[in-house]
Chains A and B, each alone.
Chain A
């Protein structure tokens, strides 16, 4: 029944899982914010997430060490970022197209490795929820905010951290300058290539963690194409969030809450066709992007390769 949705338990459940589901979006979209701020559109996030997701799962599955899995996911994500950086910064590849290439590569490779190395769907015991004395006991709020695993907390801590780095450090100043006017940055001795390498590799590492958060913290399985478009949503969230970490947070929460709602609709057996329910977050993405498209200007140098000689 639709009224089931409005019981306190269900509402708390929806909010709690909404908070949790925002985790992969946050990692991936904050990483993407960095690379876009420096002028690079990385459409390969989805592929980096898939590889990260598989790597984390495989390592955790074979060694039983979740932290090692997380580290490996970060490293392979960063490695993919490194290749992406070489292709975009040194080879001046068209970023939209090369990004799609990286996505397909990640999709194919993660599936191939999965078939070869694991074969069938297995589950593992992922990161446990962390009980914080006091906070976790607050009625309602404790359930929603403070009954989560370490990767969820990490994702939310990343938001102020990213804001700080972008706005209060010399590195952040360089990143913003390179994304707006790389010629100006170059003329002051800032290495455009180095800054972009940094942001793309950082974005890759964070995408790797985003993938890992799915396979070893939230769902605790790996299967083919398990991100199912989540990485692309993350790219959209950067636009939605107007290239600001806090905006990205708002977008990620809105999106994950709707996602959580549709999951609960299915769980509760409310008679809405499941296909429609699954569509909800995506329809929302399109609506939100249409509504916000002209609000803020993208970094001026976004998608433009930098070359010194004019």
Chain B
């Protein structure tokens, strides 16, 4: 320990911060139930829990976005009141939000300066801000260009801007809300380097995640929350991943789903040299050739925004291919509309389930027949057979364990996991031949994730050809038979599961060709 209590940024250290008996009620929910939590200077304290466990609520209280109904916060053993982000920032608390709080049309310096008083009164002092940003960047070895616009930066770089923004405001204690969710494995490593440096310098870090291996790797202590209650706090060295998972879910969970052995059959979906543009008009896919066979899961790995969305949409018929062919079971469907492809038993689980997967204002039952509502037995001569639709919905709710008050509940009132179950039920119950699953478990908790993965494997056992597009490498590795890596709209490589490692895929995801992986291309 140094004799000074200053951090390299010049800010005073926060030796300890304690949250005591924090209780927060929302209508109908006890989001935080007498939770105690503390963090000290020089440690990473991980906060672990499923969606809705109360992690975010607790941190939003600490950051001043929510006000607790009960409880108090002690900073260096003195009670403090935090009524707004201004208060928490003033106390030296910074937060890196899961969804970056950056304005894309502004520069790095403008984002950092936003909301701060300027040395020039009412005029901005961006040159001064830039200078200080570069100083901080040097101290913490973060590479950053103050004049770059946010929209020009990669996700990893944007996260660095968020960190700089917090440091600029004098953060001694930093809350990182699922900071790794959007990063490549290499970017995660870089982040961890930065985090370790900050901890060494005397910062306190709160690390929120539901990725267990990251928690085990980076944290000194870990606290598990479930249903708004604290399950326990332990030194990380004393717990295993399995312990943590069981505490989170409240029961024994299996980590690696049982894949079973399935023989790979005939090619059901073939893409020949597909190119298309992205929403911005830039090239989205550049000559993608892939095939997915009966009884296999083809994993599509890649950093977000490298053509995954375009790929799914071109296959589903929602995006026009500029060139190339989409072939479904030997038939060229390139020019066919989405409905005609669905009629050939192509099912599609879209990435944005709230936007593209369900109609929020429709009931569960209505959402379940969206695909088939024009066909018998659900309608006849244009009239809906409401009885059949209701029975169908009840059946699927039961079969897919959808937690919903009734079939007439609006989709928007279900949790993310249950909405995904509604989509799955609709897409899988029709006995598809090919399934495109885009980010099927993103944002779901462990229980729901487990369920979705199990369903996909079940379909694979039934001989369905499945394309699994996911940014979660663990998921890709756990489920896929072969893994194709997308980078800037191209297939970098297709790696059989046996030869795939996170490191190898990570390099491919970053656009690096590997000699050894080139040799395994089929």
Contact surface of A with B, Cβ cutoff 8 Å: 168-174, 176-177, 180-181, 183-190, 300, 308
Report 13 cross-chain contacts, Cβ distance below 8 Å, ordered by A residue: A168-B124, A169-B124, A170-B116, A171-B122, A180-B104, A180-B105, A180-B106, A184-B100, A184-B101, A188-B85, A190-B114, A190-B115, A300-B104
B86 on the A face (CB < 8 A): yes
CB distance from A299 to the nearest CB of B (A): 8
Our pick among A177, A183, A186 for the contact of B106 (Cβ within 8 Å) is: A177
Indicate whether A169 sits within 8 Å of B103 (C-beta atoms), given known contacts A185-B115, A188-B85, A190-B114.
no
Q: Label chain B's interface by main secondary structure.
A: loop
Kindly identify which residue among A168, A177, A308 contacts B103, using a CB–CB cutoff of 8 Å.
Answer: A177
Query: Which residues on the A side are within 8 Å of B122 (C-beta)?
Result: 169-171
Apart from A172-B124, A177-B103, 10 more pairs, CB < 8 Å: A169-B123, A170-B118, A170-B122, A173-B110, A174-B115, A177-B111, A180-B105, A184-B111, A188-B89, A189-B89
Across the interface, A173 reaches (CB within 8 A) one of B63, B85, B113, namely B113
**Does the CB pair B123–A168 fall under 8 Å?**
yes
Q: Which residues of A contact B86 (CB under 8 A)?
A: 189
* Chain B residues with CB below 8 A from A185, complex form: 103, 114-115
B75-112 with Cβ < 8 A to chain A: 84-86, 89, 95, 97, 99-106, 110-111
Residue of B101, B104, B114, B122 with most chain A CB atoms under a 10 A cut-off:
B114
Binary interface encoding of chain B residues 165-187 relative to chain A, with 1 for a CB under 8 A from any of its CBs, else 0: 10000000000000000000000
Taking Cβ atoms with an 8 Å cutoff, the residues of B that contact A are: 63, 65, 84-86, 89, 95, 97, 99-106, 110-111, 113-118, 122-124, 165
Query: Contacts of B85 on A, CB cut-off 8 Å?
Result: 186-189
Residue numbers in A under 8 Å from B165 (CB-CB): 188
Q: Are the C-beta atoms of A173 and B114 separated by less than 8 Å?
A: yes
Q: Distance in Å from the Cβ of B48 to the closest Cβ of chain A?
A: 22
Nearest CB of chain B from residue A196's CB, rounded to whole Å: 15
Most buried by A among B86, B104, B105: B105
Bound: A183/B103 CA distance, A: 9
Are B101 and A181 in contact (CB-based, < 8 A)? yes
Given the interface pairs A169-B123, A189-B89, A308-B65, the reply to whether A184 lies near B113 with Cβ below 8 Å is: no
Which residues does chain B contribute within 8 Å of A169, judged by CB atoms? 122-124
Alpha-carbon distance between A2 and B106 when the two chains are bound, in angstroms: 50
A183 to B65, CA, bound (A): 11
Contacts of B116 in A (CB 8 A): 170, 188
CA distance A197 to B89 in the complex (A): 24
Q: A308 contacts which chain B residues (CB < 8 A)?
A: 65
- Determine the residue in chain A with the shortest Cβ distance to B86: A189
What residue of chain B has the Cβ atom nearest to residue A180's Cβ?
B103
CA distance A64 to B122 in the complex (A): 38
CA distance A185 to B111 in the complex (A): 9
Contact assessment for A184 and B103 in the assembled complex, using a CB-CB cutoff below 8 Å: yes
Whether A187 pairs with B104 at a CB distance below 8 angstroms is no
Question: B432 to nearest A CB, angstroms?
Answer: 33
Please give, as numbers and ranges, the residues of chain A lying within 8 Å of B124 by CB-CB distance: 168-170, 172-173
Are the CB atoms of B101 and A183 closer together than 8 Å? yes
Distance, CA A176 to CA B111, complexed state (A): 11
Chain A residues near B114: list those with CB within 8 A.
173-174, 177, 184-185, 188, 190
Q: In this complex, what residue of B is CB-closest to A301?
A: B103
Which chain A residue shows the least CB distance to B122?
Answer: A169
**With the chains together, A168 CA to B115 CA distance in Å?**
14
Q: Distance in Å from the Cβ of B49 to the closest Cβ of chain A?
A: 18
Nearest residue (CB) in A for B110 is: A173
Given contacts A168-B124, A170-B113, A173-B114, contact A189 B103 (CB under 8 A): no
**Shortest beta-carbon distance from B124 to chain A in Å:** 5
Least distance between B512 CB and chain A CB atoms (Å): 33
Most buried by A among B86, B123, B165: B123
A174 to B113, CA, bound (A): 10
Candidate in A168, A176, A188 with the most chain B CB atoms within 10 angstroms: A188
A172 to chain B: which residues have CB within 8 Å?
124
**Chain B contacts of A183 at CB under 8 A?**
99, 101
In the complex, chain A residues whose CB is within 8 Å of the CB of B113: 170, 173
Assuming the contacts A168-B123, A170-B117, A170-B123, asked whether A187 and B101 have C-beta atoms less than 8 A apart, the reply is yes
**Chain A residue at minimum C-beta to C-beta distance from B97:** A187
The residue in chain B whose Cβ has the minimal distance to the Cβ of A172 is: B124
With a cutoff of 8 Å between Cβ atoms, the chain A residues found around residue B95 in the complex are 187
